[in-house]
Amino acid sequence: MRELLYRHAIREALDEELARDDKVVVMGEEVAQYNGAYKVTEGLWDKWGSKRIVDTPISEAGFIGMGIGASMLGVRPVMELMFWSFHSVAFDQLVNNAACVRYMSGGLCNVPIVMRGPANGGTAVGATHSHCPEGLFAAFPGLKVCAPATPADAKGLMKTAIRDNDPVYIMENTLLYGTKGPVPDPADGDHLVPLGKADIKREGTDVSLIAHGRSVIRSLEAAETLQAEHGINCEVLDLRSIRPLDQQAILDTVMKTNRVVLVDESKPFSGVSATIATLIQEHAFDYLDAPVSRIGAPFSPVPFSPALESHYIPDSKSIVTGVRDVMARR
């Protein structure tokens, strides 16, 4: 199978959907003539022109509000946030408007909009540009949230999101844009990844690692180390979607291995891993041979110092340590 960079897989998804549906537009800061801050939209303005690839002012509240209004009239906008950390200046639009319109209209008005951009730390840009808000937005009914870890999932989830009639917020990662992986060829058919369907990235029998986004890659690295150096066979479950959440896949892997480590780059309090831990406690407690373990970021702003930040975000070493601790408990 051919391989694509993560950013190129997203671009291919956008290009295919722009060709498939003339109501699809891409909007955001520097997405057109500059080819996007991360070069995800490179070449799309040259191909599709200024009516389909639209540069916006530096005003998230303004252009996201415009995109939501357009989607209510039948347009399918894909809005790029240069950083998901800028969500706070458009919170009313993202939560009160996008999430509530279909419910408040009695189902008469849809909001088929996609919000996408990086939501991560690890790039030494400081606390104000390093938030991971996937758990926050997953808490609001009416929103769908996903965090692809691989190029194939980035493409498949993007195409599915664009076709969805509800708002879908896609949390990408700047440290994944340059990674490469297999992606099905368009000649072999439409590559769609369903929302709400987790994926087992590695089969295992001893302990389950459950993660999303870049934490999946770190978990896979840790799993190889644990197998080679400690004889521990880890199963790695990639959530892919935070909302809707594939609860059955989570329970199935826990019931299979009887031990679980939740890996989550975001803060531990009220985060994604907290929700999953509650789910396991309520529905799979009797299957556990050890308490649920969580590996996440400290409850503090993301440090600017690269030396400090390297210890702040969970890495494969911290995952190995966490898994060994769980395996030692009875």
| List of E strands, the chain | 3-5, 24-28, 53-55, 76-80, 114-118, 144-146, 168-172, 180-182, 199-202, 207-211, 234-238, 241-243, 260-264, 293-296
User: Among 12, 16, 17, 60, which one carries the catalytic annotation?
Assistant: 60
The helix/strand count (H/E) of the chain reads as: 12, 14
Dihedral sign computed on CA atoms, order 101, 95, 139, 193? positive
- 300: how many CB neighbours lie within 10 A of its CB? 10
Which of these, 172, 171, 134, 141, lies nearest to 271 by C-alpha position? 134
69 φ, ψ (degrees, to nearest 5): -60, -40
Which of these, 309, 306, 304, 319, lies nearest to 264 by C-alpha position? 319
Say if residues 77 and 27 touch (Cβ distance below 8 Å): yes
User: Among 8, 87, 129, 212, which one carries the catalytic annotation?
Assistant: 129
Cα–Cα dist 236/217, whole Å: 10
Known catalytic residue at 129: yes
269 φ, ψ (degrees, to nearest 5): -75, 120
Known catalytic residue at 80: no
**235 forms bridges with which residues in the sheet?**
208
Single-letter amino acid code for the residue at 288: L
Name the packing angle between helices 247-257 and 272-283 (round to 10°).
60
Q: What is the dihedral angle through the alpha carbons of 274, 249, 246, 184, rounded to the nearest 10 degrees? A: 120
Distance of CA 200 to the CA centre of its chain: 16
Helix (H, G, I), strand (E, B) or coil at 54: strand
Known catalytic residues? 60, 129
